[in-house]
Amino acid sequence: MSRRTLRPVFKRLWLLAPVATLGVGCSSTWGCDPDENWEQQTFRVPSTLSDGGVPTQDTSCVELCEALGATIPCARIPGSEVGEDGELIEQVECRAHFACEGRRPEGLCSDGAVATGTPALGALFARMAHLEAASVPAFERLADELAGHGAPRHLVQAARRAAKDEVRHASAMESLARSHGAPMPELKVEPFQARTLEALAIENAVEGCVRETFGALLAGWQARTAEDAKVRESLATIAPDELMHAELSWAIDAWAMERLSPEARERVNAARREAWRELEQDASTSHLPDEVTRPSGLPSTAMARKLVRELASELMPGALA
């Protein structure tokens, strides 16, 4: 992958973007499975609905969520379980899907979730700010590791610059989150342990060559399509940096792969293929209401999947065959 390859691909895909108009997409507010972008939280079913009625087994999940003050519709209904005091608790499980991407560090244990009832758009930006903040230690560690593995100086310096970029990105997204009623989520990352060049290469392939690369494409997309001018302005400053981060991922990949055995290279590529499949799955199941996607500029579920497939076909032909 070279600069000459990635930029033309992005430019072609950005041409598919409707300029500052539509956008349906993905994201969410509540607690999450740290390994996935599915987010969910279980609530006790409210005793009364918004219209004063009493919920029954036939009450829709959306009605239950409205009564709870939740702002993103959920996808599933209820079950029940016995609470600590022996009480039978009727429950509803709310789910929404967040498909914004970036470089997550190993050991990331916070998920960027904010309190229930936070405005959905603010929660989306809070989650994005959390992801940007998580990228800071990811790049700092990467720079140290690259130096330790004898990588060329320009790669080490680029990783250090990227860490500084991510500080600015986190600040910009935090500002958007706060302006839409959401706080900056806490960031928790476990202390790093030394690892092999193969482990570094696998993480870089998954988090950099797939997820951060798609994130860079999304940032440029949002900069073109977000209906909120402040969002377009913020993403327009972030997108060029993210494109360089994506290119850095591929430059690190090229350097590392030359130094790995054929067996190790195959393991890196297997992880990369799996990351494309997971990303396509995430995009295919994304869901967000218009009131979140239109101002944020995130693509529709169908378009997000199309972008993932087009990008994968260019960067790793056959990965999503």
> Rule CB under 5 A: which of 206-265 touch Fe ion?
242, 245
Full DSSP string of 14-30:
HTTSPTTS--------S
* Shortest distance, position 43 Cβ to Fe ion, whole Å: 33
Dist. CA 128–CA 26, nearest whole Å? 12
Q: How far is the CB of 110 from Fe ion (least distance, A)?
A: 17
Is residue 95 part of the contact set for Fe ion (CB under 5 A)? no
DSSP 8-state assignment for residue 58: T
* Nearest to 210, CA basis, from 282, 145, 157, 161: 282
Window contacting Fe ion (CB under 5 A); options: 52-60, 78-86, 159-167, 249-257: 159-167
Footprint of Fe ion on 161-180 (CB under 5 A): 166, 169
- Asked if 287 is part of the footprint of Fe ion (rule: CB under 5 A), the reply reads no
Identify which of residues 166 and 247 has a Cβ nearer to Fe ion in the complex: 166
Strand partners, 38: 97
Instruction: Supply the minimum distance, in Å, between the C-beta of residue 302 and Fe ion.
Output: 26
How many residues touch Fe ion under the rule CB under 5 A: the total is 5
CB of 47 to Fe ion, least distance (A): 44
Nearer to Fe ion, 169 or 294 (CB): 169
Q: Give the span between the Cα atoms of 246 and 255, in whole angstroms.
A: 14
What distance in Å separates the CA atoms of residue 30 and residue 65, rounded to the nearest whole number? 12
Q: What 3-state class would DSSP assign to 262?
A: helix
The residue (of 97 and 104) whose beta carbon lies closer to Fe ion is 104
- How many C-beta atoms lie closer than 10 Å to residue 8's C-beta? 11
CB atoms within 10 A of CB 149: 17
Tokens of 32: 């999450």
CB of 142 to Fe ion, least distance (A): 11
Q: Which residue lies nearer to Fe ion by CB, 71 or 296?
A: 296
Binding characters for Fe ion, 117-136, by CB under 5 A (x = yes): ---------------x----
Question: What SS3 state is found at 43?
Answer: strand
In the complex, the residues that contact Fe ion under the rule CB under 5 A are 132, 166, 169, 242, 245
